[in-house]
Amino acid sequence: MKQILTVANKEFHDGLRNRWLISITLIFALLSIGLTYFGAAASGAVGVTSLSTTVASLASLAVFLIPLIALLLSYDSFVGEQESGTLLLLLTYPLSKSQLLLGKFIGQGTIIALATLLGFGASAVLLYFQLGDSDILSAFGVFIISAILLGLSFTAISYLISLSVSEKSKAAGFALITWFLFALAFDLALLALLVGVEEGVTQQGLTQLMMLNPTDIFRLVNLAGLDSSDVNGALAVAINASLSQTQLFSALVAWVILPLTLAIFIFKKKKL
Amino acid sequence: MNTPLVSLVEAGKAYDQLDALSSMTMSLNEGEVLGLFGHNGAGKTTMMKLILGVISPSSGKVEVMGMAPDLKEAWHCRSKIGYLPENVSFYEQLTGLEVLTYFAKLKGFSKKQAVELLEQVGITYAMKRQVKTYSKGMRQRLGLAQAFIGEPKLLLLDEPTVGLDPIATRDFYKTVDQLKSNGSSVILCSHVLPGVEQHIDRAMILSSGKLLAMGTLSELRQQAALPVVIKPISFEKGGLNGAVTQNTQLNGFLTNDCQNTLMVPEHEKLRVLKQLLNLNGLDDIHVESANLEQVYQHFLSEHELLEPKQTNGGQG
């Protein structure tokens, strides 16, 4: 355990030193405060709009940003150390591969989690003082927790990438493709399936397909509870056949644990 | 009761088609310094990785401190092993002290020890600076400090003196001698370097994954049967001219291309020297035994004669 914490501590401090924590926090804070206050600007009014609109717009932005940030933060975790030779050296230390991986995960995961909590939490607190509505805290609570899980999931996915390639530049390329597939292409494909193939999938089937993509689970978690007039596309269909929040959260947690376990497995098999 | 610290019994490692190391048998005792020589792809690094337990042998047996180093049970031994990899660039954005503290903590030591080690390798003045500002020599010193964490019983150093200036090299060998007298064993892996001879007890010469020769330097010299080069010198012009050529006991050793240079087998050395001392007009004699580099060259070229050029691009 001590070894894991030593590695986690180093990774966390790397995140602080590289200004990752501060910049992600700022991006999230600006984004959420901006959307909260100016989300209704299109309809001519400035000021706090409805809670559901705010969460809906935050969620649709976060779903692109968080995976991208997590992938950027972690894609070179292993391949970078392999290139500089420190990976081989670390493995001659009394430190197991899973300890090293978990240590990195805890360190970088803390950066993502803390930035999400501080960034989005800031606007939740601001909104709460403006409106005094306790629904705000619970809606933001769900949003923040699912956003953290989404970030952790993509951190684990980027370890898979980082452990499977042998060059840093390749890892960067794969990270970009991964982001594109999960955040954009997957939904387009679903939509095409819905529209193009008559009676191709049932509502049930669609929701199950969505479990294959952590970003869609994140969307479902945050949009299911909202007025469906704020939601459109494939999601609206899926929401009607909605799963319970507990099921959705379990699916998100699974999307953290499964890639992480697979990453440990790949690391153990990796030739040095 | 004298179990060796490291022992390899017919240990081999094959990657796909390539034999990086084949059937190696050797042992290293406590307090012994072993030089491991061979050019790139000879299997030096593979052998080190086997001893470190980072890879497992595909055949044969490796034991370090009485255990197979790739087993989980052998892990507590790892804090007693120091390793300096050939190519390592430490976390550039960290300071020297931060890097060393991280590694020290992973071995169960504290920041205090890290500072002491930086003092030992002489880069205390730069310990608060980021590693990216370090010169090649400073990085190498940092790497050495890393290998010395926790006074290891076994040190594996891959090209330790690359990038070090002569003074730092001298300091480095002093540290090796010191570690040796404390009972640590050292494996020095390098291309053959001048000055390494005095500091190693035994040498191993590898080529394309095979052991060419192993033994103390004088044993290797004997095996190689390389001649001693003797040069009688006279300060007067033409002082010795003819004297050597006319001496029937000496002229057999004369080289063709170079006048006044005798190539004498080791066992004939004293007899020839006595003869030379009797010559008139002799002012000085140069005697030069074959050095490690020549012995190394000898074994390599002998190997190449036996096995004409194989294609091989091995792991370094």
Closest B-chain CA to A3 = B106
pLDDT digits (tens, 9 = 90+) for A29-75: 988 888 877 765 656 566 666 777 788 888 888 999 999 999 999 99
What is the rounded CA–CA span in Å between residue B150 and residue B103? 11
With b meaning 16 or more CB within 10 Å and e meaning fewer, what string describes A70-94?
bbbbbbbbbbbbbbbbbbbbbbbbb
How would residue B315 be classed by pLDDT, with cut points 50, 70 and 90? Answer: very low
**What is the nearest CA distance from B59 to chain A, expressed in angstroms?**
17
Interface residue A5 vs chain B (CB under 8 A): no
C-beta atoms of A272 and B90 within 8 A: no
What is the residue-averaged pLDDT of chain A? 86
pLDDT at A43: 60
What is the rounded CA–CA span in Å between residue B5 and residue B185? 8
| Residues in chain B whose Cβ is within 8 Å of chain A | 15, 49, 52-55, 72, 75-76, 78-79, 81, 83, 85, 87-91, 93-94, 102-103, 105-108, 146
- Using an 8 Å CB-CB cutoff, list chain A residues near B15: 271
C-beta atoms of A84 and B89 within 8 A: yes
What is the rounded CA–CA span in Å between residue B241 and residue B279? 11
What is the rounded CA–CA span in Å between residue B269 and residue B43? 36
pLDDT at B316: 40
Q: Which of A222-226, B101-105, B266-270 has the highest mean pLDDT?
A: B101-105
**What is the nearest CA distance from B90 to chain A, expressed in angstroms?**
7
pLDDT digits (tens, 9 = 90+) for B47-79: 888 899 888 888 888 888 888 888 877 788 888
CB B205 within 8 A of CB B214: yes
Is residue B124's pLDDT more than 70? Answer: yes
DSSP code string of A38-100: HTTGGGT--S---HHHHHHHHHHHHHHHHHHHHHHHHTTTTHHHHHHTHHHHHHTSS--HHHH
Closest B-chain CA to A94 = B78
Taking alpha carbons only, the member of A203, A201, A202, A238 closest to residue A221 is A238
Phi first, then psi, for residue B284 (nearest 5°) are -155, 155
C-beta atoms of B88 and A91 within 8 A: no
pTM metric for this prediction? 0.86
Strand B202-207: give its sheet, edge to edge.
B81-84, B154-158, B185-190, B33-37, B202-207, B210-215
pLDDT at A160: 96
How many A×B Cβ pairs under 8 Å?
59
Q: How confident is the model over B290-303, as a mean pLDDT?
A: 82
C-beta atoms of B93 and A18 within 8 A: yes
C-beta atoms of A272 and B146 within 8 A: no
Interface residue A268 vs chain B (CB under 8 A): no
A234's tokens: 């494939």
Is residue B82's pLDDT more than 70? Answer: yes
Q: What angle do CA A146, A152, A158 make, to 5 degrees?
A: 140
